[in-house]
Amino acid sequence: MKKINDIFIGQHFCLPNNFLTSNYDTFLFFDFGLGMEPEFLEYFSDLLDLGGFNKQVNVFDYDFNIIVDNWILKHDDLLKYIKRIIGYVDINDDNGIIMADTDLNWVAVQDIPINWGVFAFQSSKKESIRLFHMMNRDWFVDIERFKSMEKVLIREVGEEFINILLSNYGNIRSKQA
């Protein structure tokens, strides 16, 4: 079984740069605190139930220290774990968060809670890509929406951010072929 740190190219996890190994080639971008948003975690838990996906996740900091080990996402314990994650982030100067299912079908990364983050999937794994297609686009922006919203987003996040993001994530699959 792969270790979580084996799926990263390096330890500079900062959007808009791509920092994941090439088998993670399908992405959704988000702008909420990873592991800290109860409404999203409830939605995500329900989605995992609906699709019959693995609900067991691990939450790490950027040094791959475990924050929450083998958390089975369910409504009745969300607040307990959210408090643990928020407390850890506060104590560790807004350290980034990595969240992944225990099968490593997907990984979500956010360098600090106020920055954009990325959910990454493996298009070669049916389970992974099926989850990608089921996820609610209201919570996320995929690379195609970034391209179509480029002018609006330039005002929000800056032209340099958009250009680097598109060059790093816009044609990842074609680079591998």
pLDDT recorded at residue 131: 95
pLDDT recorded at residue 170: 81
Q: Give the residue among 9, 56, 23, 15 at the shortest CA–CA distance from 141.
A: 15
* Contact partners, residue 34, CB within 8 Å, separation at least 6: 97, 99, 108, 109, 110, 113, 117
Q: Average pLDDT per run of 10 along the chain, which is 177 residues long?
A: 80 85 92 91 94 95 92 93 91 86 94 88 93 87 79 78 85 48
pLDDT recorded at residue 164: 87
Do residues 67 and 88 make contact, with C-beta atoms less than 8 angstroms apart? Answer: yes
Q: Where are the domains of the chain?
A: 14-140
Distance CA 43, CA 156 (A): 26
Residue 125 neighbours by CB distance under 10 Å: 15
